[in-house]
Amino acid sequence: MWKQTKHGLYKQFNFENFKEAWAFMERVAELAEETQHHPRWENEWSVVQIWLITHEGGKKVTDKDYEMADAIDRIFKDTGPLGEKAPDPGAHPDKVKVFTDGGSRGNPGPSASGYVIMDEEDNVLADEGVYLGVTTNNQAEYTALKLALEECLKMGIRDVQVYMDSLLVVNQMKGIFKVKNRDLWPIHDAIKKLAAKFDHVNFSHVPREFNKLADAAVNRALDEHLNGNSA
């Protein structure tokens, strides 16, 4: 569903791989040229995000944008992506890669958690950003991990490789660092119990540049909430 944000009509499209995402973007580019109405978009791997706004209309959402949105949705359905198909519980793999991130604008301040779940061929199975309210960076990082593992359990996944750019959380989950902040004890314990329900969970630290999809989910949730409140 398209959402009206401060930056225009917004929608995210998920595909099985980059090739499908690129085919979709090529067809949308042809549509934009035909209609002379060019969207703002971002592509990261198999995910395409699109914003529509009418610049000559004073940078407002107009009927022209809604017509463009309908046309893009038709292209999306024709392209045959994973995005809007009903999930098939039996189709989920036993082993996945999970990227999680959390951020706070102020620390403490407005915060959000984000996670992306992929199969071993890098197909996106889930991509979610959740606004949390006012909290800290570390609380947002832990919450992202908890939400991702809960989703993996719902999907019936048994083997999880977690990637995070928070070295603190990774080392605390591995037991290398102690959890000194008492506020983090409850969620740390809850994640430990969640992890025990899987056959295998491994935690790895990655540089921020390798965690862009989860970071984008965080910022998307923050922007949508904060811009919506300021509108």
pLDDT tens profile 136-147: 999 999 999 999
Residue 170 makes CB contacts below 8 A (sequence gap 6+) with: 164, 203, 204, 205
pLDDT given for residue 85 in this prediction = 42
pLDDT in tens, 61-72: 899 999 999 999
HSE of 13 in the Cβ direction (CA atoms, 13 Å)? Answer: 27
Residues of the chain with CATH 3.30.420.10: 89-230
What whole-number distance in Å separates Cα of residue 76 and Cα of residue 207?
33
pLDDT given for residue 8 in this prediction = 85
Whether 140 contacts 134, CB under 8 Å: no
pLDDT in tens, 36-54: 999 999 888 888 889 999 8
Residues of the chain with CATH 3.30.1360.20: 3-79
pLDDT given for residue 57 in this prediction = 61
pLDDT given for residue 5 in this prediction = 79
Length of the chain: 231
Residue 164 is encoded by which pair of tokens?
């995070």
Whether 227 contacts 7, CB under 8 Å: yes
DSSP string of the chain? --EEETTEEEEEEE-SSHHHHHHHHHHHHHHHHHHT---EEEEETTEEEEEE-BGGGTSB--HHHHHHHHHHHHHHHHH--STTSPP-GGGS-SEEEEEEEEEESSSSEEEEEEEEEE-TT--EEEEEEEEEEEE-HHHHHHHHHHHHHHHHHHTT--EEEEEES-HHHHHHHHTSS----GGGHHHHHHHHHHHTTSSEEEEEE--GGG-HHHHHHHHHHHHHHHHHHH-
Report, at the CATH architecture level, how domain 89-230 is classified.
2-Layer Sandwich (3.30)
What whole-number distance in Å separates Cα of residue 12 and Cα of residue 41?
10
What whole-number distance in Å separates Cα of residue 20 and Cα of residue 36?
24
Predicted TM-score (pTM) of the model is 0.65
pLDDT given for residue 90 in this prediction = 47
Chosen CATH of 3-79 out of 3.30.70.3270, 3.30.70.270, 3.90.730.10, 3.30.1360.20: 3.30.1360.20
- Which residues in the chain show pLDDT less than 50? 81-90, 230-231
pLDDT given for residue 91 in this prediction = 56
Strand partners, 44: 47
